[in-house]
A and B are shown apart, each in its own frame.
Chain A
Amino acid sequence: MKFRNTDHREHIVLQMTPMIDIVFLLMVFFVFTFKIVLPEGDFNIRMPSAQTSTASAVSETPLLRVRLRATPEGELARVQFGDVALDGDTPFYHLQSRIRSLIGDDAGPGSSDQEVEIDADYNLKYRYAMNAITAITGYMDDNGEQHKLVERVRFAPLSE
């Protein structure tokens, strides 16, 4: 019986070049489409229209008003909580302190019945309104835990 000579078998070489090409193409695609997305969050407010709100507007707790006054450039000029003007470098922090003391959140999780109306000047930059909403709705303690204060926030009707 005659055997074939197996020593002259063809040496198989794996072609790496196309695979590396594909890998780099995929990598380039992912690098270009990669976008760091910052987390976003919402402040939920419920604002029924004027017709429906008049029927259910009767509330036992008095409405708190926060007035935000703006300079002609849209910067924050003054914050007023009720009749009290909050001056200083951190008016929203003072606002938060006042709301905390008013609600007395040391004893509990806060008040959900209380409602706050934000009356802002038309040309005020939105970031200050957001600061006011932040100050009203809650705070972060030193451990990074979030505490709620007033959940019902609304904007005052536009005076035009």
Chain B
Amino acid sequence: MRIESRGPHGIVEGDLTPMIDMAFLLIAFFMFVINFSEVEQDQRVTLPASELARPPESPYEQPLTIHITDDDHFIYGGKELVTIGALRSALLQETQIIKRLTTKNIGDVTIIVRGDEDAKTGMVQRVIQICQQLGFEKFALRGKQSDIRTIRGE
């Protein structure tokens, strides 16, 4: 039997161009959709849904965000506070900083309340009450945008 000589083979190289194109396209996609801005979200809080919840037309000027978890804890300034007294102390400290270092009126500072959907409404009210006692007047109750009509029970 005669075996045919296959001859010298060249180096087989795969065409990498489409793969690199794809990789760059993916990078471009992720770069566009990634949000580097400082979001005030916390995974411990699941916001209640509402079809009317729309992002504010203009951003608040240096708002203060208070998170209320479903187990009656508070997250403020990146710290988890167990008691409402601790929250009050932290807010009192904040008001003193605002009064001393800025020309802003306390009543013009917006408090963003991010309450968990299973949190107690009374706890949200207590937070608002404490803020009121410290002079805050503007509150923004935050909800999660929903396409489902929440109040129709759909």
Contacts and interface: CB of A to CB of B under 8 A. Distances in A.
A112 interface: no
A15 to B, nearest CB: 12
Interface stretch (B25-33, B75-83, B94-102): B25-33
Nearest to A24: B23
Interface string B90-126: 0000000000000000010010100111111111111
B11 to A, nearest CB: 11
Report, as a range, how many residues of chain A touch the other chain: 35 or more
A126 B142 contact: no
Secondary structure class of chain A's binding surface, majority of residues: mixed
Contacts of B120: 74, 122-126
Secondary structure class of chain B's binding surface, majority of residues: mixed
Interface of B: 16, 19-20, 23-24, 26-27, 30-31, 33-35, 39, 41, 47-56, 68, 107, 110, 112, 115-126, 128-129, 132-133, 135, 137-145, 149-153
Contacts of A37: 35, 39, 41
> Looking at B125, B132, B135, B138, which has the most chain A CB atoms within 10 Å of its CB?
B125
Contact of A41 (B53, B128, B137): B53
